[in-house]
Structure 1
Amino acid sequence: MPETQHLIDVTDQNFEQEVIARSHDVPVVVDFWAPWCGPCRALGPTLESMAAKAGGEWILAKVNVDNNQQSAQRFGVRGIPAVKAFVDGRMVDEFTGALPQSRIEAWLDGILPSEPDAQLDEAEALEESGDLDAAASIYEQVLDEDPDHIDALLGMARVSAMRGENERAEELLDQVPIAERDGEYERVLLDVQAAQFAPVDELQARVEEDAADLESRWQLGIKLASQRRFDEALDHLLQIVIRDRGFRDDAGRETMVRIFEVMGPNTDEVREWQKKLGRAMY
């Protein structure tokens, strides 16, 4: 199948990058199929035509389950064709079977960006430009309309932390249901925690002066992770696991696991760190 701007072949090796990471920028619809599957051959051209006409509003990713069983197993594919939608790193909806185009269009309406999504994009752009008050105003508007909007809760928590309103940030994060606490939640939680700690240089100096200062080492790990310096962060946290599993009720291991979620739990880099953690524990 020739790839185009809106149609891509995805494998076990590049699923994390082409689907999970890409879905933070544009919705990705994944078609799990196989060449021998009659309904797949019926559905495929419909999806491909719709993706071409969408003009980049969403991307179609094709996964041949015969050659990429790891991805199929990871997302619970039991029958094909199985179509799953990913937005902001999460699977948000799915259907199985060769649906007619009218039903697929209705299904797509439920996953494509809405007005609140456009508002959140604007708020995130304001965050990046440093206009935290304007970003907060938009997040508050979305939450006024929908107090349970996950991305608005996370965005407002992030802005609150950057403004030094740590208690408010923690209150917002507490409102996120446990079932929704994915990699993006952990990313924001790390940022909120890091905002309460001393600068990296100061924490590094403390650890260099006293290698057994596990509190400073743990804070340094979180601070580095919030700056996306994951290898450095994990190295410090692994030292805590080696030195004292009882520190803060196994905080070294638990924080490493949280960072794995942020990094993407099925990447080669994470698997290497999981091996190191396993060796340290046993």
Structure 2
Amino acid sequence: MIDVTVANFEAEVITASQQQPVLVDFWAPWCGPCKTLGPILEKLETEYAGRFKLAKIDSDQEQQLAAMFGVRSIPTVVLMVDGQPVDGFMGALPETQVRAFLDKHLPSAEEQQAQGEHEEAQQALEGGDAAGALDKLQEAVQADPDNDEARFDLVRLLLQRGQVDAARAAFAPVDAKAEGVQRLAALKFWLSAMDFVAEHADGPGAIDQFDQKIAANKRDFAARFSRARFLAAGQRFTEAMDELLEILMRDKGWEEGAARKAYVAVLDLIEPPRAKVADGQIPPQDPVVASYRRRLSSVVLS
């Protein structure tokens, strides 16, 4: 719990809520219902163990803040997430109703653990510790199997490290969702490219067969697409996108947009993890990704 004033409101409520939900309790010393609700909120803050932070504002002393939130009676409670109010209530609700309010909006303990592990994995990757990141991502997915972002990073990292069987096992629980989730579809494209290579590889020069077909007919889009799959399977992603662009420049709708879908999948695969920063802004996009996104837009919209 922290007492909030105009002086620390920005740091303790707005900025803090971008990292962790903040429950703002408007109260006053003379308010009887506040004396009932306050201890309940403090107890739940301890019990919920970091799932939210309690910020208390004396509405008599901080009338500017009370006016900013349109407080008409106290106690008034407002839940802040990502710098914005998302819900609230007035009056001294019983503990069961306060719990129901919190559980409606807050991540579960498992989801919170997974988020924490995922953030630590991103930090480990930024520090060059791929093995440490892999451990954290596995823990994140184990804690919250429905965290698709953590699972995406886990499967991608396994594939980057050549641990294909482990990647397939990690991807299997979300395979059925891939058609409706773009980033999962990107992983499925990568895995299917590996399957394609395994089926068509005839030694180290296997990709040459497609080079020869393309040299004979620049509009042999099937050969170009196959070559792009070979390149993607080998993590030669920018070369794969260059090949896919060759198809798009000649026939945007080939095979119901297969080249565009594959291109978008590769963009997702090469996009570096980008965690939110303290002020809620997103760091600048990776220059390679930005360049290839512009090239795609230029071709598709031309």
When normalised by structure 2's length, the TM-score is 0.43
Larger CA Rg, structure 1 vs 2: 2
When normalised by structure 1's length, the TM-score is 0.45
